[in-house]
Chain A
Amino acid sequence: MEKEFLFILPIISISFFATSAIVIDAFSKNNKNIGFGYSLIGLVITAVFSAYSVHLSVNSLIPFYHTESLITKGMITFGGYAAFFDVLFCIAGIMTIIASKEYMKRNYKEINEFYSLILLSISGMMLIAHTNNLLILFIGIEIMSISFYVLAGFIRTSLQSAEAALKYFLLGAFATGFLIYGIALLYGSTGNIDINTIGVYVNSGTKISLIFYIGLGLVIIGLSFKVAAFPFHQWAPDVYQGSPTVVAGFMSTAGKAAALIGFIIILRPMLTIDVYQGNLPKIFNSGTIKLIIALISAGTMLIGNISALVQTNIKRMLAYSSVAHAGYLLMGIVANTAIGWDGIAFYTTAYMFMQIGAFTVVSILEKNHEGRLNLTDYSGLSKTHPVIAATMAVFMLSLTGIPPFAGFFGKYYLFAAAIESGYTWLAIVAVIASIISIYFYIRLIINMYFKEPAETEMTIEKSISYLTVGISTAGVIFFGVFPSIIIYFSHQCFRLFMF
């Protein structure tokens, strides 16, 4: 009992801090530092709890996770990969909150609600990561998404921000409709909302009805929307461009990671049985599902990178590149093997560092909302602000996938996953997509390093945001050179699936 409690402590603590942060906000309207500090402390405490449950998972101290006798009645899993992702979400949250202090102040929108919303969205993500039940998954996705809708429109006075929020909300609600309808059909065809039981049902050899596959397809559509995968990616550029820069960085990393872990949790039991099972209808089998996801993945990488080529706004460019990275990540889901999950875990970690880092750099350079966002505004940055330019170059090279930065190893691992599971063609598409991506990433470096600075001098104040940039840079380099640390933890954590 006590141990079970330890494993869900992260969710409890983050929910506590998220809700209490709003209350604290009501009492300390004038002192902005209290809300900031409180949410930061909350995240650190949660991160410690999560790290402890990672530690327990690594040492195989997890209780068997879907029995009715447990306090969570099998609705929530303990530890394992969920704990790993909890740590990830917390770190993303910490980095975002540190980066947003200065940014929100500049936009006259430093309201403590902002921090509590970030905590709230993290609690949603954690629910997704811990889910073993379709309804919990739905609740998690909704908590996360609704927080994101508000965060996207946080700069109320800006038209673009409002547009982003509305667009995100309408499309997101539509996608949620797909998701919940899919869940309903899955329940209807299997009579269960427990994912593990559904998995057992699917693999038991009973004849599976068409409705089940339609439901699964709808769930895939709903999750693809949250991941921003082709052909459901169109919202991403507009939303990321309009929403506050730091929030865009947070949504495109932690939000994506959460949706991906949801993807893994739902699809893993459905994909285990191979083509030998004779009694499945011919066109519907795990091979077909894998192929569909492989096609989504291939399309996402290509569309994302090709669209990014022609962008002149840096936030749009990063948005399209984040679409492309979702495509790389989906390769790990196609593989559905230990190496694929490790690949996803590593790549989301690496991606978190580089993407939040890049968005933070953008937010530091941004004058006011919407200012200094063109690629040409970065001309000669290496002369005026050498340190910022160097870190941005590191993030760009890492996103391209050049060693010794973390992005390279993530790509290597995902390629390995795709090739290992027999999807060599997908790896080759990924290679072609990466080749396309080289051009727009290094175009930014060209602007920063090879061109002369513009006439108007850019002045930026030293602020706490630099800390996020520093953490990101250190993470990108350190995990690029010593990737085995993350791989070790994720491998131990994902062992839960082997039980």
Chain B
Amino acid sequence: MAALLITLFLPLLGSVLLLFYNKENTKAIKYTAFGISFLTFLISLIVLFGFNSGNPGFQYYFEAKWIPIIDAGFRIGLDGMSMLLLMLTTFISTITILSSFSAIDKREKEYYMMFLLLQFAMTGVFISLDLFLFFFFWEIILIPMYFIIGIWGGKDRIYASVKFFIFTAVGSLFMLTAIVWLGYYTGSFILHSQYGFTTNFILIRNALLNTPIPIEVQRWLFIAFALSFCIKVPLFPFHTWLPDAHTEAPTGGSVILAGVLLKMGTYGLVRFNLELFPQASIEFAPYIAWLAVIGIVYGALVSMVQTDVKRLVAFSSVSHLGFVVLGIFSMTVEGMQGAIIQMVNHGLTTGMLFLCVGMIYERRHTRDIAEFGGIARVMPAFTVFFAIAMLGSVGLPGLNGFVGELFTMLGAFRSPFLHSWAYTIIAATGVIFAAVYLLWMFQRVMFGPVTNPKNEGLKDINKREWATLVPIVVFIFWIGLHPLTFLNISDSSTEALIQRLELIKSGKLNSNKHNTISNNKINQENPNQIQKNKN
């Protein structure tokens, strides 16, 4: 319990601590930030060891009073999926802070403060079990990320940061309305709670399992939540902020954006959309799966024609996260497990690709593919790391990407909710395209003779850069060769979720009769409701 709280609050404390540092003393600032982040990672390991993966429910549950009058509490807890994502957050944050040491050369104090604040909020998103608290953290993330892109970003940073801010805020404000509606509805009409309002996630989930919201309303709530999450993922038509944000953000920002922030969207889809609106999710599954498949192919095709390495990796994210969404909305154990492991994979490999791009950018101050060529001769060690990340992203068997993609496609293939093989077949072409664009890029950057004289004197990676890359490589191989270690953590909670969904599909939990009864009850009890219906 204490360990989880420390994992959450230590970065915040660190951020406040940095406030009192002298601006000029950059070395101390860097090492303090890194130390805090690393310590958080170690403490999160304690959380991991205390985690019982056989238990499908929420563990480390902690509740504190916060705003009792609307029953919004400080409620946190972990299940399998959030455990994995929590580990990913602490791990990637530590790596990112280490990687920023030389890349950030102005206003370091603010940068590391923002970063630790970001880590605090991200951790909060993955462990909060209260809709209000979740939204609280979800929105806090906007602030540091906005500043990270806007202050330390590239040439078009202002455009990118504003686009990022507005896209995300638009989605989340509709989610806010949905949260209020949901809290009021469940509090007043299902639970009849003392305050007529609740945002307790577990309470709402259990209540809705027995008395589902009428499907007409559920559709709107589903859309309001899904819009916010799909923008964050980003799913196909909402993805346009991502390439700009990624390209303009500093390396650290890109890594954390790809590594953790995008996962918040997919996490939200599983945690809130599937759990709270199962009927609507079943109804919408094919449409969202189609968007995911389109995203897979579209992202891959657009990546192929990019001339900027970073933009290429950014578009590949659109493609890879398509697999995650496809896996989630296949609503099978394989698909879901694949999606969860793919979230981790994407965080590791794409994060590492961005790190590599950042390293080469620091040396050459360009990311144009045409400027490179023959890097393998000057930077052999770097080439090996880049190759591992690239192959992991392609999905080479034995490396991590393969496991995730295989599982999600398997899930989509035999999903009782999607009823079609087409998803898998089209998604599979995305894997082929991935091989094409990544290998082609790799070839153009790394192989061949050194055509550009500027590339001749490049130094190979230094000790600190080794330290950032090696831990990721270890996990890339670990997941690739023995995925069971990771799959086991989320196994039981995923199975419990899928079981619930299947029960609902087979009609055992969802009866229309029940709906109408509860509807009538509502109308009798609340005159406002009648008035609303009349309006």
Contact = CB atoms under 8 A, between A and B. Distances in A.
Interface of A: 274-276, 287, 339, 342, 397, 400, 402-404, 408-409, 411-413, 415-416, 419-422, 424, 427-428, 431, 434-435, 438-439, 442, 445-446, 449-451, 482-484, 487-488, 491
B213 to A, nearest CB: 14
Contacts of A403: 135-136, 139-140
B143 A402 contact: yes
A7 B11 CA distance: 47
A342 B197 CA distance: 14
A431 B177 contact: yes
B535 A442 contact: no
Going nearest first, the 9 A-B pairs with the smallest beta carbon separation are A422-B532, A484-B67, A450-B150, A403-B136, A431-B173, A422-B528, A416-B180, A403-B139, A415-B180
Contacts of A435: 166, 169-170, 173
A488 B70 CA distance: 11
Given A402-B143, A402-B169, A442-B165, 12 more contacts: A275-B531, A403-B135, A403-B136, A403-B140, A412-B132, A416-B183, A422-B528, A424-B181, A435-B166, A438-B165, A439-B162, A446-B150
A491 B169 CA distance: 30
Contact of A450 (B140, B157, B170, B532): B157
B58 interface: no
Nearest to A491: B69
A449 B180 contact: no
B151 interface: yes
B528 A419 contact: no
Contacts of A275: 531, 534
Interface string B205-234: 000000000000000000000000000000
A487 B67 contact: yes
Contacts of B184: 416, 419-420
A275 B166 CA distance: 41
Contact of A416 (B70, B173, B174, B535): B70
A421 B528 contact: yes
Nearest to B534: A275
Nearest to A430: B177
A133 B166 CA distance: 47
Interface string B193-209: 00011000000000000
A397 B146 CA distance: 12
Interface string B142-178: 1100110011000001100110011001100110110
B527 interface: yes
A450 B146 CA distance: 10
A415 B176 contact: yes
A287 B142 contact: no
18 contacts: A276-B527, A402-B142, A404-B136, A412-B176, A415-B176, A416-B197, A420-B528, A421-B528, A422-B528, A422-B535, A428-B177, A431-B174, A435-B169, A439-B162, A445-B146, A449-B151, A484-B67, A484-B68
Nearest to A413: B70
B529 interface: yes
Nearest to B529: A422
Interface residues of B, number: 42
B440 interface: no
A341 to B, nearest CB: 12
Nearest to A484: B67
Contact of A438 (B157, B169, B181, B531): B169
Contact of B166 (A439, A450, A483): A439
Contacts of B528: 420-422
A249 to B, nearest CB: 24
B66 interface: yes
B124 to A, nearest CB: 11
Contacts of A442: 146, 162, 165
Contact of B177 (A287, A415, A446, A487): A415
Nearest to A286: B531
B93 to A, nearest CB: 20
Contacts of B188: 420
Nearest to A290: B531
B357 to A, nearest CB: 23
Contacts of B165: 438, 442
Given A422-B535, A446-B158, A450-B157, A488 B151 contact: no
Most buried by A among B166, B169, B181, B529: B169
Contacts of A488: 69
A438 B70 CA distance: 26
Interface string B490-534: 000000000000000000000000000000000000011101101
A484 B531 CA distance: 31
B180 A402 contact: no
A411 B527 CA distance: 25
A105 B173 CA distance: 43
B531 A287 contact: yes
A397 B534 CA distance: 38
A408 B150 CA distance: 23
Contact of B147 (A274, A413, A438, A449): A449
A408 B139 contact: yes
Given A416-B184, A422-B531, A431 B140 contact: no
A339 B183 CA distance: 14
Contacts of B169: 400, 402, 435, 438
Interface string B243-280: 00000000000000000000000000000000000000
Interface in B466-480: none
Contacts of B531: 274-275, 287, 422
Nearest to A335: B528
Nearest to A427: B177
Most buried by A among B67, B151, B181: B67
Nearest to B70: A416
A275 B535 CA distance: 12
A491 B70 CA distance: 12
Contacts of A339: 70, 197
Interface string B52-82: 0000000000000011111000000000000
Interface in B431-475: none
Contacts of A446: 150, 158, 161-162
A402 B140 CA distance: 7
A422 B188 CA distance: 13
Nearest to B133: A403
A483 B535 CA distance: 33
A487 B69 contact: yes
A323 B355 CA distance: 47
A419 B181 contact: yes
Nearest to B175: A431
Contacts of B180: 412, 415-416, 419, 427
Nearest to A423: B532
A411 B177 CA distance: 10
A350 to B, nearest CB: 14
B523 to A, nearest CB: 12
A232 to B, nearest CB: 26
Contacts of A428: 177
A447 to B, nearest CB: 10
Contacts of B143: 397, 402
Given A274-B527, A427-B177, A442-B146, A483 B67 contact: yes
B309 to A, nearest CB: 25
A420 B532 CA distance: 10
B320 to A, nearest CB: 29
Nearest to B533: A422
A300 B184 CA distance: 26
Nearest to A451: B158
A454 B66 CA distance: 44
Contacts of A491: 69
A402 B197 contact: no
Nearest to B188: A420
B310 to A, nearest CB: 20
Nearest to A276: B527
B146 to A, nearest CB: 7
A181 B70 CA distance: 41
Nearest to B179: A412
